[in-house]
Every structure is written in C-alpha cells, then in structure tokens.
Amino acid sequence: MVRLILAAGSMAALCVSVVWFATIVFSSLLIFGESTVQTVLVFGFYVYCVLTLVVPSEHKLFYVLSIPILTQFLHLLQKYDFPPGANSPWRLLPFIIVDLHIVSALIRFKTSLTATQKGVAASWIALNFLSIIISPNLPGIITGAFVLVVITLPLYFCYLSLCSERPSFSTDLERSLCLLFILLAFGTFGLVFLGAQYKGASNLLVTRNISDTNVTMAYFILLWPFALRYAGRSRHTFLLTLLLVLLFAVVVLLSFSRGAVFIVLPYLFSTLLIISNLKQVVWFSSIGILLSAAFKDLLQLINTELAYSWQLRFADFQAAGPALQKLQEASGRAEIRRFAYKLFLESPLYGHGTGSFELLGPGYREAHSMFFTILAEQGLVGMLYLYALFLGLGYCLLKTKVSGRQYRLLPTALCAYLLFVHSVGSVWVIIPAKSLTINCIAPLLLLCMYHYSKTICESSPSLYHG
C-alpha cells in the first residue's frame, strides 16, 4: 500500500506542478476552472489520466480503476458554465482517455472470454443500444450513454478479465480498491465541510449533500469488502480495520442520509461480525456506540451549520414507528414510484428508453428505486435481463464462501447494495441530461466483484476441480 500511495501521490504531484507552471506561462488555460486552483486541479486531472495510463507502472490496475471514481469529484470542480449533462465533452474526457487505453491493452494482449461471457457482453451492448435509441431524451444523453454504457463498461469487463489472468490479481485489486475507499472517504469529508460554507443556506447544504452522498454511499458499500480483505492481509490488521471502520462510520453519519443510517450502519456491523472474533466485535461496537452518542455534540463544536443540518434531517424520526416507512413518507418516494409505474403501464414491454424518466417523470433523474426506474425505462425485457445478471453475480459470489468465512463479505455487500438502490435511490449508470455528475462506478465495482470471485473460485482446489 505504501508503494502504491507514493507512486500515485508522486504522479498526482507531478501533474499538478506541471499544470501550475503551465498556467503561469499560458494564462489562456484558466478557462478550465473558476479560479487558478480549480484550473490546476481540473486540467491536472486530465494530465493525470494521460500520464498514468501511458507511463509503464506496476500499479496500472489502480490507475485504470481510479479514473471513474476520482471523476466523481472532478465534476464538482469544473466550471459551471461548461455544458452540463452527459453530452459534455469536458466531463466525458476522462472516460474517453481510459477507453482508448483499454482498447490499446486489449489489442496488445489477448484476452480469452468464455462463450457465456461473450454472450453477456454482446447482449448487454445490443439491449442497451436499442434502449438508448428509443429514448425521448436522446438529444440530452446520446454521447454519454454510448460512451459509458455501450463502450466503457464492456471494455472494463474485457480488461478485468485480462487482468484476472495474473496470479496477483486478487491482492492487487484488494489494495487498489482499499486505497480508493480511503480516497473516496476523505473526498466526501471535503465535500461536506466545503458545503458548510454556504452561510445561511442550510437547506441548500442538506440537499446538495444528499444528492452526492446518497450516490457515493452505494460505492462505499461495494468497496467495503475489498477494503476489509486488504486489512485482513496486513501486518496490523486490527489497527487498519479500526481506521477503516471509523472512516466508514463517520462518512455514514456525515451523509445526512436517513437511508444510509438505517441501512449502511447495520451492514457495517454485520460485516464486522463476519471477519472479527468476539473480542474485536466488542471493541468495534463500543467505539461505535461512543461515536454515535457523542456525534451531534462533536459536530456542534466543529461546525454549527452541519449540526443544524443533521438535526433538520432526522427531526422527523424522533417519534416511534417503522424507520423505512417513515423514510418513504418523508421523502415522497412513494409518489415518485407510482409515477414510474404509470410510465411502465404505457410501455410495459421495452419501456421508454434510457434516461427517459428524467424527461417524462416529475423532474427527478430516477425513481429513487432501481426496480421502478428500470421498469419505466426498459420495461419487462430490461428488468428481467438486469435481474438475471444480478442473480448470476450472486451465484458467483456465494460460491466463494467455500474458500473461507471472510468471503461472505461479497454476497453480503451485494445484498446491501441491492437493498440500498431499491429503497434509497437507484445508483447505477448516471447519465443525466442536465446535472453535473456522470459516472458508471457502481456497475464497474460489480464487475470487479465478479472477476474477483471468479479468481477466488479458480484458486480453490475444491471449487476448481469440482
């Protein structure tokens, strides 16, 4: 991990230094940001994408996986007068760069996909191509939809298959995703505390945090088993695990998301039961209880705006009653889903097309539920296809349990992710026509889970020969 941090950190510092010097010499580069700092960070990230993928490195897997996740924060720094939505070339540029690198790698190194894998990849491209071209929102999403859904994800599927042939793939993947978990956590902290600078706009702060942390929370769920597996292999397992648990817990508490609190915290506790002995569980639980009890007071001392926002979000839950039912009532999700179901009835077989809910619905990007969003946009055909993929992935993840108790983390993470995206919000491929964030992190992490579980099963004699 230390070597990876030093390599990635030095590369990032080099890119930032080069761009900072370039802005001094060429002032026209300031178009990339609202200020010099923004320009250096945004343009420096583009340089980072190119250099990390072109320069030979033993950490190439980390660099390829890091670009979509770091792009999550890049969108927040880019100029707001850049074209928003999925057709913005500046927002899509990191994905285009990584796609070109993967194509180059696949040309140079042959990857062997099974007949089933080829069938899944081909059917994914065909089904999503048809879903995109029938969308009434096509002018607003066409570029991003094709880049992310039709090109990027199939390329990552092939690239991870190629990487999984290396003996060190599982450990490399654990280390890479553990570091990305840590970076995502600190990036989330920065987002929350920078958002607190909107003085006198607590409602705006809460809304902005929810829109971003509700999305990133799904990423934390999927990254978590890899972070724990890496911690379990380290020399200082307990201390590293404790650090990761504290990071995850604070992210959840600072998310201002009721869904995160009521779903992710139990998920966090259940994963600790899987990997820890009784003594460790007692330690983790005690620290968690103390942190939760003192969180509001600590937040009040650190930042009064954040403390007010926390109180504002959870005031509705002081009365007794089913938490999830209150969550649906307080957020208006039930009404949104009824609208999605109405759209489904209008075109039940193949739906209205990718990104159609944003245009035809009540103004939201999705129906706050993967089931209802897919039902409205891709109909019965898309719904059956997607849930068949989830079923196949779940079967692969369940097979890894035979290799050791710790691999129960994988199906547990999939279950928590599915619960989250069906009750809080659909976090899948994000290709809005109007808002800033464009990403495909969730399916990318699910692809990592698939190839990781496949590698684990093939390395287990009882599974491989059985």
pLDDT, one tens digit per residue, over 302-332 is 555 565 555 555 555 444 445 555 555 545 6
Share of the chain above pLDDT 70, in %: 79
Q: What pLDDT, on the 0 to 100 scale, is given for residue 309?
A: 58
pLDDT exceeds cutoff 70 at 373: yes
pLDDT tens-digit profile of 240-259?
A: 888 898 888 888 877 766 66
Region 225-243: mean pLDDT is: 88
pLDDT of residue 460: 63
Say which range, 82-91, 320-329, 350-359, has the weakest mean pLDDT: 320-329
Name the pLDDT band for 274 (thresholds 50, 70, 90): confident
**Most trustworthy range by pLDDT among 145-149, 270-274, 333-337:** 145-149
pLDDT at 33: 64
Q: What is the pLDDT of residue 322?
A: 52
H, E, C per residue of the chain: CHHHHHHHHHHHHHHHHHHHHHHHHCHHHHHHCCCHHHHHHHHHHHHHHHHHHHCCCCCHHHHHHHHHHHHHHHHHHCCCCCCCCCCCHHHHHHHHHHHHHHHHHHHHCCCCCCHHHHHHHHHHHHHHHHHHHCCCCHHHHHHHHHHHHHHHHHHHHHHHHHHCCCCCHHHHHHHHHHHHHHHHHHHHHHHHHHHCCCCCCHHHHHHHHHHHHHHHHHHHHHHHHHHHHHHHHCCCHHHHHHHHHHHHHHHHHCCCCHHHHHHHHHHHHHHHHHHCCHHHHHHHHHHHHHHHHHHHHHHHHHCHHHHHHHHHHHHHHCCCCCHHHHHHHHHCHHHHHHHHHHHHHHCCCCCCCCCHHHHHCCCCCCCCCHHHHHHHHHHHHHHHHHHHHHHHHHHHHHHHHHHCHHHHHHHHHHHHHHHHHHHCCCCCCECCCCCCCCECHHHHHHHHHHHHHHHHHHHCHHHHCC
Can you give the pLDDT at residue 126? 96
pLDDT for res 330: 47
Higher pLDDT, 79 or 54: 54
Mean pLDDT lowest among 20-29, 116-125, 337-346, 361-370: 20-29
Taking only the tens place, the pLDDT of each residue in 128-184 is 999 999 999 999 999 999 999 999 999 999 999 999 999 999 999 999 999 999 999
List, for residues 199-214, the tens digit of each pLDDT value. 444 444 444 444 466 7
Least confidently predicted of 109-123, 137-151, 322-336, 378-392: 322-336
Q: Model-level pTM? A: 0.89
Q: How high is the mean pLDDT of the chain?
A: 83
